[in-house]
Amino acid sequence: MAVCRLEKYLSDAGCGTRSEIRSLIKAGRVSVNGMPCTDGSRREDYALLDVTVDGKAVTYEEFVYYLLNKPAGCVSATRDALSDTVVELLQGVNTKGLFPVGRLDKDTEGLLLITNDGQMAHRMLSPKKHVEKKYYVNLDRPLAQADKEKIENCIDIGDEKPCLPAVIEYADPAVFITITEGRYHQVKRMFAACGYEVTYLKRISMGPLQLPDDLQPGAYIKIKAPVI
């Protein structure tokens, strides 16, 4: 971070709304290098200084990463007039600037990365990078071997180009599918092209990230920057 006003530094660090921060400063509850600072407009590179609120250190992280187990029923967006959003599930987190890396359908569960790191998100989503995404899938009937092979080998789902190769593993009665693209409703459309309906869909990995077995739907963990 660079030189900025104290008020902005505290706001970016998630210390409250602008008016809450102004009150904290006015009340002398904010100190810089051990001295109360009552001037919110003072400009410094606060990342290099010791800033506290009520004696507690304020830490500023430029980029943050949260791995959410998205529950069914919420949308992969930052705001929505009608439904809960994945970002709203991060209770107690400063969600300013956070967005989901890609989308899962409203009824899909599983791994969703939420961050403010646009460059990392771009690397994760770039079609050129072929990042692997693995899904656990329930179908309305058992998957025939011949259909498994069709879906694995560049199935046509009505787009300009057929899909890239996929890998399917049987996990009776469910299946796992690994794809390296991120087309709209892709998994559902791949199975629909062979006459199957996906009755349950959960993403269990994306690139280097794995959904922890014990992370309940709706729960999230803070993680380090994914190496990608």
Residues acting as catalytic residues: 105
**Of 120 and 166, which CB lies nearer to ligand URA in the complex structure?**
166
Decide if residue 188 touches ligand URA (CB under 6 A).
yes
- Residue 212 φ/ψ, nearest 5 degrees: -60, 140
Decide if residue 185 touches ligand URA (CB under 6 A).
yes
Only one of the segments 40-48, 78-86, 89-97, 186-194 lies at the binding site for ligand URA (rule: CB under 6 A); that segment is 186-194
Decide if residue 187 touches ligand URA (CB under 6 A).
yes
Only one of the segments 28-36, 89-97, 117-125, 179-187 lies at the binding site for ligand URA (rule: CB under 6 A); that segment is 179-187
140: which residues sit within 8 A by CB, 6+ positions away?
A: 196, 197, 199
Give ∠ CA 171-173-177 in degrees, rounded to 5: 50
* CB 114, CB 124: distance < 8 Å: no
CB of 184 to ligand URA, least distance (A): 8
Decide if residue 181 touches ligand URA (CB under 6 A).
no
Number of residues lying near ligand URA (CB under 6 A) = 8
Among 108, 115, 116, 205, binds ligand URA (CB under 6 A): 108
**Of 120 and 187, which CB lies nearer to ligand URA in the complex structure?**
187
Q: Which parts of 200-219 interact with ligand URA (CB under 6 A)?
A: 201
Strands (E), the chain: 4-5, 30-32, 35-36, 43-44, 51-53, 56-57, 65-70, 99-100, 109-115, 133-139, 167-171, 174-179, 198-206, 209-210, 220-223
114 DSSP β-pair partners: 66, 100
* CB 25, CB 41: distance < 8 Å: no
Decide if residue 139 touches ligand URA (CB under 6 A).
no
Only one of the segments 9-17, 53-61, 112-120, 180-188 lies at the binding site for ligand URA (rule: CB under 6 A); that segment is 180-188
